[in-house]
Structure 1
Amino acid sequence: MKNPVERLSGMLLGGDAQKAALIFSERNRRYFTQFPATDGALFITADKAYLLMDFRYEEAAHYGARNCEVIGFDSLMEKLQELIRKHGVKAVYLETETLSVAQAQRFEKAFAAAGAEALLTPELDRAVRSLRMIKSPEEIRKIEASQAITDAAFEHILPYIREGVTERELALEIEFFMRHQGAENVAFDLIVAAGKNGSQCHAVPSENRVQRGDFITMDTGALLDGYHSDMTRTVALGAVSEEQRAVYDTVLKAHLAVLDAVKPGLPCNEADRIARDIIEKDYPGTFGHGLGHGVGVEIHEEPRFSRLDPTPCEAGMVVTDEPGIYLTGRFGVRIEDMVLVTEEGCRSLTKSPKELILL
């Protein structure tokens, strides 16, 4: 299989020596070169790719970057002008979704001085999006390794959940464990929400203390080797009411129905509808967010299990399945797996149990 740079060049440039592409955003630079840096640019021509790094990253990039030649610069614009002239480039595609107006204007001016046009059109963004939606076997292995840390963190945290512990204490313990297991970072600001805070789907861990009878929702994930994981589990401390169990069972039913349905060709909005219909039947208006999102070098990427996304599922996509019910000011339940679309159907990359755990 060709590497991502080669695939992008073939898809976007098609061998046209007078065209080039500039990857400027941090996440996409890492996707194409496997090298993390907060600054720099990837310049791709029909037959060559250059990773442009300043003094801070140049030496490390020589050791770690893939699929490109690393060259240093003192002035990024001057180096780009040099490469444009060297390769006879007349037009350069830019990532319009990530550029500010001021950055775009600087690129336009610099490229014009070198005899090239800055293409502020959506073609490059579309091409990158289509590449990133379909994960390679190597990417899937990285996501699974990241998820293994997340699964281990869930098992680790269960004995810490006791009466009087705060949401913040639990979140910190999960983060410490993940980093101790080798994660370079958490995938996002972790969510731990107990009792009435669980009705806030993106609650911020606070000094709220766990009480007996509480649901505790934990939305966690690790960042490992540039790839994210994402998992939510809701557990309970002590006995739960009939209403709590009914809510949990409904969310689980919706979650499992999606796992049964996802396969190549299924529209993403149909996956959302399957879960939403189950929840809306008995708990109308309590599931206010989309069913899921792609996961990879970013925690939220395309495609989306959403009412607004008709993208057909394809083998190699990794998308979350995370239905929830949120009863304002009372409690909430969410269950989330990462789902890999396969040629035959789908496979969950998440190993933690889904059945309600009573601690």
Structure 2
Amino acid sequence: MTVHHQRRSRLRDALSEDVPSVFVTRDLASVRYLTGFSGSNATAVIGTDEVHLITDGRYREQAHHDSPDVAAVIDRDVVGALRGLCTGQEVGLDDRTPMGLAQQLTEAGLTVRAVADPVAPLRMVKDPQELDALSRAGGITARALEQVADTIAVGDREADVARRLEAAFAEWGADDRAFATIVASGENSALPHHRAGDRPLATGDLLVIDCGAKVDGYHADMTRTFVVGAEPNEWQQEIHSLVLQAQHAARDAVAPEVVAGDIDAAAREPLTRAGFGEAFAHGTGHGVGLEIHEQPMLSALSSAVLPEHAVVTVEPGIYLPGRGGVRIEDTVVVAHAPQVLTEMQRGLTRVG
């Protein structure tokens, strides 16, 4: 029995009796989770006894390679293919399915009903194969960042550092980057999602690098903050020390059965106490896996309860517009003894 067969069995067990007998999802990450197929056009049809994968002719061979225990249906007409597979059965559509498809299926004579996504809760709990891929992705990310940090020099462009880091991911064995690498220097470091650009690194800059490697479809995510070409000054040391305290408090709070909002509160407490609460303007973290942002979200409003073997980021920050910012982030496995997958020193060190 393949790992994907086991996941589909868990899905069937999780579906309540009032859910339609056929579940359909076009979410590519969920399709990959359930079938192993990694193409860009896919619909998974999960019946009580049969499983089908609808894709197009570009992926005929890949479908058989990625999903040998699933019946492939090669047809660009998804509505027609579903009509052929599901006539006479009520179809449960993942509630993220575009309304247009639901309408087309209804017009084709099928009985359809939107169901709350039953795959996302399963994907939160990583199985051993997933944990292995995430561990390798995290290790590659940390090693590559350590390697590239040693090469950074005053005058390098942000974009040059990003490209060197992404090349290092490949050298260490990653399949791809997990997302566009953030290299934010000087005043740009106060922008949480700055895109690496042409700005040259200057002496005394804070330098935030947020990066991740991808292995077997699974994403790592980590951030470290450096000072370029000089020792950190007093205000840089102050905000870095506070963010480090916040990150440590949040990582210590990560455990099974903990409410996600409580982890966010643990990160905010030292920053708010020091007067920097308003300077931390995003959530403390998020789940990672086949997508870079998955459930659960670690935010003030989140009531999600963390299951054992979920994998989340912990990433508090302080951002001071026009001056600079600090963020420290790790990817962490939820357990009674949490495991950090992106282990690397967290001090405010000089580069260049």
TM over 0.5: same fold? yes
Q: CA deviation at 1:13?
A: 5.9
- Which residue of structure 2 lines up, in the alignment, with residue 63 of structure 1? 65
1:227 is aligned with what amino acid? Y
After superposition, residues 13-24 of structure 1 pair within 5 angstroms as 19-24=21-26
**Structure 1, 163-172 or 62-71: larger mean CA deviation:** 62-71
1:109 and 1:121 map into 2 onto residues whose CA distance is 19
- Which residue of structure 2 lines up, in the alignment, with residue 48 of structure 1? 50
Q: CA deviation at 1:167?
A: 0.4
**Secondary structure in 2 matching 1:275:** helix
After superposition, residues 1-359 of structure 1 pair within 5 angstroms as 3-12=6-15, 19-65=21-67, 68-73=70-75, 75-85=77-87, 88-89=88-89, 91-97=90-96, 99-110=97-108, 112=109, 116-122=110-116, 125=117, 127-237=118-228, 238-282=230-274, 283-342=276-335, 344-359=336-351
2:91 is aligned with what amino acid? V
2:8 and 2:304 map into 1 onto residues whose CA distance is 24
2:70 and 2:81 map into 1 onto residues whose CA distance is 16
1:188 and 1:150 map into 2 onto residues whose CA distance is 12
2:102 is aligned with what amino acid? A
2:184 and 2:268 map into 1 onto residues whose CA distance is 23
**Does the 8 Å CA contact 1:339/1:348 hold for their aligned counterparts?**
yes
**Alpha-carbon deviations, 1:299-356, whole Å to 9, x = none?**
00100110111112220111100000001110100000011111x2422111111122
**Secondary structure in 1 matching 2:333:** strand
Q: CA deviation at 1:147?
A: 1.2
**Alpha-carbon deviations, 1:265-300, whole Å to 9, x = none?**
211000000110111111231000000000001000
**Does the 8 Å CA contact 2:73/2:81 hold for their aligned counterparts?**
no
2:140 is aligned with what amino acid? I
**Secondary structure in 1 matching 2:261:** helix
2:102 and 2:45 map into 1 onto residues whose CA distance is 16
**Does the 8 Å CA contact 2:177/2:212 hold for their aligned counterparts?**
yes
Q: Share of identical aligned residues, percent?
A: 33
Q: CA deviation at 1:68?
A: 2.3
Q: CA deviation at 1:182?
A: 3.2
**Alpha-carbon deviations, 1:168-195, whole Å to 9, x = none?**
1101111122133332321111100011
1:219 and 1:121 map into 2 onto residues whose CA distance is 36
Q: CA deviation at 1:74?
A: 5.3
**Secondary structure in 2 matching 1:201:** coil
| TM-score normalised by length of structure 1 | 0.92
Q: CA deviation at 1:67?
A: 5.0
2:82 and 2:63 map into 1 onto residues whose CA distance is 18
**Does the 8 Å CA contact 2:190/2:322 hold for their aligned counterparts?**
yes
**Secondary structure in 1 matching 2:131:** helix
**Secondary structure in 2 matching 1:58:** helix
**Alpha-carbon deviations, 1:80-111, whole Å to 9, x = none?**
222224xx52x1111222x223222112222x
Runs of 5+ unmatched residues, structure 1? none
Structure 1 residues 137 and 15, CA gap change in structure 2 (3 angstroms): farther
**Does the 8 Å CA contact 1:34/1:66 hold for their aligned counterparts?**
no
**Secondary structure in 1 matching 2:15:** helix
1:353 is aligned with what amino acid? Q
Q: CA deviation at 1:221?
A: 0.6
**Secondary structure in 2 matching 1:120:** strand
Q: CA deviation at 1:15?
A: 11
1:55 is aligned with what amino acid? G
**Secondary structure in 2 matching 1:307:** coil
1:195 and 1:298 map into 2 onto residues whose CA distance is 30
**Does the 8 Å CA contact 2:186/2:324 hold for their aligned counterparts?**
yes
**Secondary structure in 2 matching 1:358:** strand
2:45 and 2:58 map into 1 onto residues whose CA distance is 19
1:203 is aligned with what amino acid? H
1:309 is aligned with what amino acid? S
Q: CA deviation at 1:142?
A: 0.7
**Does the 8 Å CA contact 2:83/2:105 hold for their aligned counterparts?**
no
Structure 1 residues 289 and 8, CA gap change in structure 2 (3 angstroms): same
